[in-house]
Amino acid sequence: MAVASPERIGTRHVVLDIGDEIGALIVHTSEALLGREIEVSPKGSAGKRTHTDVLERRINGLPVFAAVFPSLTEGDYSLWREIVTGDEVTIVGGAVAEVDWRGITDSSAFRVARPERLPGRMIPDAPGAIPPRRDAERKPISTAPMASAPMRYTDDGQVAWDQMWTDFCDLALAGGPPHRPSVLEPADAGAVRAAPEDYERVLGELERGLRLVTGLATLPCELPGWVGLECEDAAAAAWMARAITAENVRVRRQGSLLLLPAGPDFRREKEIKNVITAVAKTYHYWAEHLYD
């Protein structure tokens, strides 16, 4: 179920992709945290954090400051202020949890989410251009091909797409050459019609994986052979489309919507993994290492 939340100033509405085992989280803050980064992780798994920015939105013409996590698997989560944990919250599938941090006025414990562009720094035009790494002091960046990450599974047998890489920075910046040696194409309409059950199974797994690695909403596509991923805006979608193409995965763009390939014969360990890996890698480029 998609629910529109308050509009972000100058951008589109945020889409909360919730339902079944997927919920969402809104952290209300003071203006002092505007532009700062808030992280969450499953309780007891501090190394598996996801993050989002505190943005200004408007309700009835009045400014509201909040960080929105539009898609989280249900369970208990810890909220983080840089390196120390803050509160805990329980995410319930199909519901929106809310945390009130409006009383926090000291922003020094929070990282700046989008630092101002340094003089002379340009956003790379080519997908292969690697922007500066914010945590470059932690480990050197390798340009060697990255070995394929082993498949990881949850206790109920589902692929744990958000747990396959220990560090999304490693995936994004040390990925080396394109993820695939040849271009992954969508299935044609005839192949989709011939195996509708297999096709729906593949779509379901692609959508679940894409939500886990990006937190973005997936949308149904009327065109057979494609699955939709709704980006924050057209600029993000345009950059990601170029970068995903460089990973040898076919992609189309319609405004802020990315269309990614799907087919009834896509396998979890091969083609499905290729699509999700390419998106995880390129989305991390955009969200963490490009300045806007």
Tell which of 54, 86, 101 closes a domain. 101
Answer with the one of 82, 101, 120 that is the final residue of a domain.
101
CA distance 128 to 203: 29
**Of 83, 101, 119, which residue sits at a domain end?**
101
170 and 82 co-located in one domain: no
Q: What is the tens place of the pLDDT at every residue in 178-218? A: 556 788 999 999 999 999 999 999 999 999 999 988 889 99
Lowest mean pLDDT among 33-47, 163-177, 265-279: 163-177
> Which band of pLDDT confidence, cut at 50, 70 and 90, is reported for residue 14?
low
Percent of residues, the chain, with pLDDT higher than 70: 69
Q: Tell me which of 282 and 203 has the higher pLDDT.
A: 203
106 in a structural domain:
no
pLDDT at 250: 93
Element (H, E) at 42: strand 37-42
Neighbouring residues of 174: CB distance < 8 A, sequence distance ≥ 6: 141, 142, 143, 144, 146
Residues 177 and 267 in one domain: yes
What is the domain extent for residue 212?
Answer: 161-289
Q: Give the domain CATH number at 65.
A: 2.60.40
**Percentage, residues of the chain above pLDDT 90:** 26
d(CA 261, CA 266): 10
In a domain, 201, yes or no: yes
Q: Specify the number of domains making up the chain.
A: 2
CB 186 within 8 A of CB 261: yes
What six digits make up the tokens of 39?
Answer: 């992280």
Residues 167 and 97 in one domain: no
More confident residue, 147 or 253: 253
Domain assignment of residue 147, yes or no: no
Whether residue 195 sits in one domain with residue 279: yes
In a domain, 119, yes or no: no
**Contact between 166 and 47 (Cβ < 8 Å):** yes
Q: What type of residue sits at position 144?
A: A
Same domain, 168 and 92: no
pLDDT band at 165 (very low <50, low <70, confident <90, very high): low
Residues 97 and 169 in one domain: no
The pTM of this model reads: 0.50
Domain-located, residue 169: yes
Residue 136 has pLDDT above 50, yes or no: no
Picking from 67, 272, 281, 16, the residue whose alpha carbon sits closest to that of residue 167 is: 281
* Same domain? 165 vs 283: yes
Domain assignment present for 211: yes
Domain presence at residue 70: yes
Q: Is 133 a member of any domain?
A: no
